[in-house]
Structure 1
Amino acid sequence: MTDTRKWVRFTPAQRLARFIFYFCAVALFVWSVQTVEVIPEFLYDAPTQVKDLFSRMVPLDFAYYPEGLHTPLMETLHIATLGTLLAIVLALPVGLMGAKNITKVPVLNWFAKLILVSSRTVNSLVWALLFVAVFGPGALAGAVAIGFRSIGFCGKLIAEALEECRQGPVEALKAAGAPWATVFLKGYWPQVAPAFWGILLFRWDINVRESAVIGLVGAGGIGMALETSLNLFEWDRVGVILVCILTIVVLAEIFVTNIRKHII
């Protein structure tokens, strides 16, 4: 008897599902284009406007850096550093509360998740606007905003690292009658320390970039200088500020990469 079976890559149900997925994707794209109201005239003119904008930035006003940019740039680094330290201090107890193998109370686990999700959901600029209203414009509002924005990121990764710990050393310490602090420092911490330092460095790297942006809403740093130059149409100074931001971000990336190689 001849075998008439024919191999096909997808079953009819899979082909239908793929068709529905692509159809929905195209429909959403068309709907999105209509919603954002793209104006063809502006779209066609964009290359000319970009060329004109960059032509106004040249030559760059590097003489503006010593008098107007060095201090805000250092303030940006300080905001990122203080915000990251604040985030780690606040995220560690939240991470402990969110780790199910350490805190075996479902209500506390869900409360920790609520804090972590709330922190990550609110954008840095929104946090900055909130704390500028509370503390007034300046670096304090920026550092607190960066700290609260980073709690979700750091706390979630710390909780996941704690949940992945091997329980052998922990159970041995508990069987020996060690107190909880000793169990954590001798059983959990050696296992999560590499992840902890990696999270700290990685988040600081991210916060350096975010600290350069939150100044646009008055939260201190080089972003405030950028906003001032934009409002005054001082494009040569805007160009210098953008170069400074790019430089500090690249240097922070190199610094973090080298530190991770030696520590982790």
Structure 2
Amino acid sequence: MAISTIDGQKVWQRRDRNTQLKIWALWMVGTAVFMWCWQQISAATTWPFFWDAPRIAADIGGRAVPPRWSYMDKLWEPLWDTLNIATLGTVMALMMAVPVAFMAARNTTPSALFVRPVALLIIVSSRSINSLIWALLLVKILGPGVFAGLIAISIRSIGFCAKLLYEAIEEIDETQVEAITATGASRWQVMAYGILPQIMPAFAGIAVFRWDINLRESTVLGLVGAGGIGLQLKGSLDTLAWPQVSLILLVILLAVVVSEWVSAKVRGAII
């Protein structure tokens, strides 16, 4: 905010001259960066395909309707595999994320100098790589199938769950911990009676939220051979069976909607 004078009278201005010049300079730099990025994207784009996209989309949409309802009999087992990948992957991730979270939290780590950096490295490493990339790598190591997808989901979820959980641990009420410690309780008793009861609501919410995310992610792991309904989607896409593709997409949409409803109900009951 600045005040300038005109004919000896003070006039209010929102910004002074230097601040306004800095803002204009930032806009100019931002515009230049945007134009450069647009040039790079434009050079790498095949524009005839882009302009022909509406016609192709309309043609595929016409071929995909109506869905092939008779194909539903072949989707129950892949859908069950997808649910198992999401559920078991979440459980495995939580089992590994809990000790990592306690090692990462400042108020529970055994060593802030040695143990905590290792725990934080595990969290960052897990979160930095997408589950689809984990699945692509694990399919090469373990072979195609549900097990590779299960491990990919669990590895990806460790960092997410551990990060939220260790933040919840650091935000606990220390007076309760001090009161239990004053009774002569051991370290494990303090953790069981002073820390765990305070973080259990957060833990339950994190578990349900991550399960909801994992169910969405597990639907596409089959595209790289990690099992589940995504494998049926890839097979249908490869054979240009568009009625099957539309049915699979409807099933995935319904599964995601149901999982969202379930997770919302569970989180509402917890909170």
TM-score category (smaller protein): over 0.9
1:134 aligns with 2:124: no
1:216 deviates by 0.4
TM-score (norm 1): 0.94
Deviation per residue, 1:215-257 (Å, 9 max, x gap): 1001110011111010000011000010011110010000110
Deviation per residue, 1:119-174 (Å, 9 max, x gap): 11111111001111221111110010000001111000001000011100001111
1:156 aligns with 2:178: no
Q: In structure 2, what is the Cα distance between the partners aligned to 1:212 and 1:237?
A: 15
1:17 aligns with 2:22: yes
1:166 aligns with 2:202: no
Q: Please, which moves more after superposition, 73-82 or 16-25?
A: 16-25
1:176 deviates by 1.2
1:107 deviates by 2.4
The unaligned stretches of length 5 or more in structure 1 are none
User: What secondary structure does 2:226 align onto?
Assistant: coil
Q: What's 1:217 paired with? A: 224
Q: 1:21 corresponds to which letter in structure 2?
A: L
Q: What's 2:98 paired with? A: 92
1:188 deviates by 1.1
User: What secondary structure does 2:160 align onto?
Assistant: helix
TM-score (norm 2): 0.92
User: What secondary structure does 1:5 align onto?
Assistant: strand
1:30 aligns with 2:38: no
Q: Please, which moves more after superposition, 110-119 or 234-243?
A: 110-119
Larger radius of gyration: 2
1:245 aligns with 2:228: no
1:147 aligns with 2:158: no
Q: How many residues align?
A: 263
Q: In structure 2, what is the Cα distance between the partners aligned to 1:19 and 1:39?
A: 34
Q: What's 2:113 paired with? A: 106
Q: What's 2:12 paired with? A: 7
- Large movers: runs of 4+ above 6 Å: none
Q: Percent identity?
A: 45
Match of 2:88 among 82, 89, 97: 82
Q: In structure 2, what is the Cα distance between the partners aligned to 1:5 and 1:150?
A: 60
Q: In structure 1, what is the Cα distance between the partners aligned to 2:155 and 2:14?
A: 49
1:76 deviates by 0.3
